[in-house]
Chain A
Amino acid sequence: MSNVTSSQQGQDVTISIIGRFDFNILQVFRDSYSEHAGTDLSFSLDLAQTEYIDSSALGMLLNMKNHLGAEDCAIEIKNCQPNLMKIFTIAHFDKKFKFL
């Protein structure tokens, strides 16, 4: 099953998604960042243990970006696996988020 965890270290908030990243974790995913809106914190997503994404995940990521009012490439995506990277690339998400 999917799981979302969020941790903060100083100015950096890291959200890790374990398992499937789709609309089934919509609420928990939103909760993980929504309280930080309007702050100067920097956000990164750790996808090292994410197994699957679909268009609902892409929508959720864009919602996150809009909610936080983040500039293009201000949110970092870390440890994205090659199979998921393909999907991000097809969706041109590599222009919206900073992949590390």
Chain B
Amino acid sequence: MQILVVDDQATNRAILTWLLEDDGHTVLEAENGLIAIELFEKHEIDIVLMDVMMPVMDGLEATQKIKALQKDGNYVPVIFLTALEDDKALSQCLESGGDDFLSKPYNDAVLKSKIAAHIRIRELTQDITEKHKELTLHNSRWEREQNIVAHIFNTAMEHNLSDCDNLRSHIAPASTFNGDILLSAPSPAGGLYVFLGDFTGHGLGASIGTLPIAHSFEQLASRHLSVGEIAFEFNKMLATMLPDYMFCCASIIELNPQGDSLQIWGGGLPDAYVINADGSIRETLPSGNMPLGVEKDQSKFNKGFEVRRLAEGERVIFFTDGIIEAESPEGEFFEEERLLSCFEAGTKDTIGAILEKLNNFILDAEQRDDITLFEVSSGPVVINHKLGATDSVEDHYDGILWRMSCKLEAEDIKRANPVEEIMSILGAQTLMRPNKDVIGLVLAEMYSNALEHGILELSSELKKTEDGFMEYYQQRQSRLENLTNALIQISFRLIKDGEHFLRIKISDSGNGFDVSKMSHSSNEDSFGRGVGLINRVCSRVEYLEGGSTIEVDFPISKMMTVD
């Protein structure tokens, strides 16, 4: 330690220096207050031993100035060594900023222990100052990062439907970041998808997982996947992304456009309830699957889901466990029983009743977990304002009018299913996506006709009987195996004639077939059905070159809805 000794008596300074150097300290000497201040400014002083009465500047004034020179948090103790003994003099020492005093003549051991004690305080102070600086830095960094993350979350959640008559919800996160997530999106058919998830824990850690979910939910909805398939996709994503101890309890539902049928996939959330029009419980729906992110083996994931019919006035309510586990000021849980008491016949506003009961229970207790619930009610789906709705894709399409074609020879035809390959290319187009399944069907039927009737010359007559049906496909297989020379050409063209159409043309190297026979097939027949399907969804169907070429126009903008 570097110690500054201030005393006008050279002898006193010499004794102190000798004493302190013996203890391993370095000593600087000043004969009055003014010199002391100069030395203090020039050197790193750890401790000051100060005489009171000195010429030029006395110890009291010097101490005041030295204390004023000390920067924030740099504590340099000043110990007065004084011959004065009256209380007034001693209190003056302390008032000037001194930290301690010792009366002359002093005892060596007492002086040494005082110095040791003040050095300890100085070190502690330095330590605290450093930690405080670090904390301040971390805090401001955390605040900045929190702002960034909050912005990202808010933007992600904006992808929600802002207003749908069939959906009511209540969201109460326990902290800035919510581990619960509630998403909704329109289905391409005009129905409604809702996702409710609860990640393990709460706060930022739990919140992280909600991002990819929010990001891809709308996209999966626009592909019109079943709730089971959406669950499968999310499980795959979360199983690879989240650490083992983290997962997401979730329910995914799809309400059909008419609002009378609900598809439900449930994994790990508390029971949901189907509510009668009068407010009483019609059915309890336990969740049948493990939470998302648990099953690592994709092939074992159950894509199955439940379907419930909803009559007028009926609704279904879903919860995260935050509500059952909500605590009162006394530390009691809300529990299922209190929840169930809100489902009484005559209760019109179930959500309102639940929230009232919950608020009266929690009162001013700290909320420990995120609370989210939603209610989906029957009746035609009405979406007042939707963001990113898929059925408006056509309105905004100003992309290029492309063409695509391929030639399939005998080897290609025998190899595999070319329709599937083509659809994997076409299906990636935003414009095609909503009607991907129907376009795939049209293409499959056109291709089957070209192959089976045009090239393999199979007769539809065979399919009139059940055994013939069998025979037909047996012949198909054997003729296909023996096929050596054949050509099927397929071309696609996106055209715009007022609205957008996909023109599909298929030509085969066969001898054509009698089209008139096929088109008479009625609904009852199990043959020629393919042609009927094509006619029903295409705006133009034309057979050319004696039936060996078929050209159709499929209206892209027409939304195929499910009745």
Distance of A62 Cα from B526 Cα, bound (Å):
6
A87 with B473: CB separation less than 8 A = no
Closest to A34 in B: B466
User: CB-CB < 8 A to A81: which residues of B?
Assistant: 225-226, 228-229
Distance of A23 Cα from B470 Cα, bound (Å):
9
- Say which residue of B307, B441, B563 sits within 8 Å of A79 (CB atoms): B307
Within the complex, the shortest CB–CB distance from B316 to chain A, in Å, comes to: 17
Distance of A94 Cα from B562 Cα, bound (Å):
10
- Say which residue of A54, A62, A100 sits within 8 Å of B445 (CB atoms): A54
Within the complex, the shortest CB–CB distance from A13 to chain B, in Å, comes to: 18
Within the complex, the shortest CB–CB distance from A94 to chain B, in Å, comes to: 6
User: CB-CB < 8 A to B303: which residues of A?
Assistant: 48-49
Distance of A84 Cα from B440 Cα, bound (Å):
11
B441 with A54: CB separation less than 8 A = yes
B187 with A82: CB separation less than 8 A = yes
User: CB-CB < 8 A to A58: which residues of B?
Assistant: 526, 529
A49 with B304: CB separation less than 8 A = yes
User: CB-CB < 8 A to A73: which residues of B?
Assistant: none
Give residues 43-63 of A contacting B (CB, 8 Å). Answer: 48-49, 54-56, 58-60, 62-63
User: CB-CB < 8 A to B224: which residues of A?
Assistant: 82-83
Distance of A80 Cα from B187 Cα, bound (Å):
16
Distance of A82 Cα from B305 Cα, bound (Å):
12
A55 with B445: CB separation less than 8 A = yes
A82 with B307: CB separation less than 8 A = no
B473 with A78: CB separation less than 8 A = no
B529 with A83: CB separation less than 8 A = no
Closest to B476 in A: A23
User: CB-CB < 8 A to B533: which residues of A?
Assistant: 55, 87, 90-91
Q: Interface 1/0s, chain B 9-34, versus A by CB < 8 A?
A: 00000000000000000000000000
B563 with A89: CB separation less than 8 A = yes
Total contacting residues, chain B, CB less than 8 A: 39
Closest to B532 in A: A91
Distance of A86 Cα from B533 Cα, bound (Å):
11
Within the complex, the shortest CB–CB distance from A22 to chain B, in Å, comes to: 9
Distance of A3 Cα from B225 Cα, bound (Å):
21
Q: Interface 1/0s, chain B 511-524, versus A by CB < 8 A?
A: 00000000000011
Closest to A26 in B: B473
B189 with A90: CB separation less than 8 A = no
Q: A49-B303, A79-B304, A79-B305 are in contact. Are A89 and B562 (CB under 8 A)?
A: yes
Closest to B463 in A: A59
User: Does any Cβ of A come within 8 Å of B560's Cβ?
Assistant: yes
A63 with B473: CB separation less than 8 A = no
B470 with A86: CB separation less than 8 A = no
User: CB-CB < 8 A to A27: which residues of B?
Assistant: 470
A87 with B441: CB separation less than 8 A = yes
Closest to A88 in B: B562
User: Does any Cβ of A come within 8 Å of B444's Cβ?
Assistant: yes
A90 with B529: CB separation less than 8 A = no
User: CB-CB < 8 A to B560: which residues of A?
Assistant: 86, 89-90
User: Does any Cβ of B come within 8 Å of A36's Cβ?
Assistant: no
Closest to A49 in B: B303
A55 with B530: CB separation less than 8 A = yes
User: CB-CB < 8 A to B562: which residues of A?
Assistant: 82, 85-86, 89
Pick from B187, B224, B463, B466 the residue with the most CB of A within 10 Å.
B466
User: Does any Cβ of B come within 8 Å of A2's Cβ?
Assistant: no
User: CB-CB < 8 A to A55: which residues of B?
Assistant: 441, 444-445, 448, 529-530, 533
Closest to B470 in A: A26
User: CB-CB < 8 A to A59: which residues of B?
Assistant: 463, 469, 526-527, 529
User: CB-CB < 8 A to A94: which residues of B?
Assistant: 563
User: CB-CB < 8 A to B228: which residues of A?
Assistant: 48, 81
B226 with A82: CB separation less than 8 A = yes
Closest to B189 in A: A82
A residues touching B (Cβ–Cβ < 8 Å)? 23, 26-27, 30, 48-49, 54-56, 58-60, 62-63, 66-67, 78-79, 81-87, 89-92, 94, 100
Across the A-B interface, the 8 shortest Cβ-Cβ residue pairs: A59-B526, A55-B530, A81-B226, A83-B437, A62-B526, A48-B304, A55-B529, A85-B562
- With A55-B445, A66-B466, A87-B437 known, 8 other A-B pairs at CB within 8 A are A27-B470, A30-B470, A55-B529, A66-B526, A78-B307, A82-B224, A83-B224, A90-B536
- 19 A-B residue pairs with CB within 8 Å: A26-B473, A48-B228, A54-B441, A54-B445, A54-B448, A56-B448, A63-B469, A67-B466, A79-B305, A81-B226, A83-B436, A87-B441, A90-B438, A90-B536, A90-B560, A91-B529, A91-B532, A91-B533, A92-B523
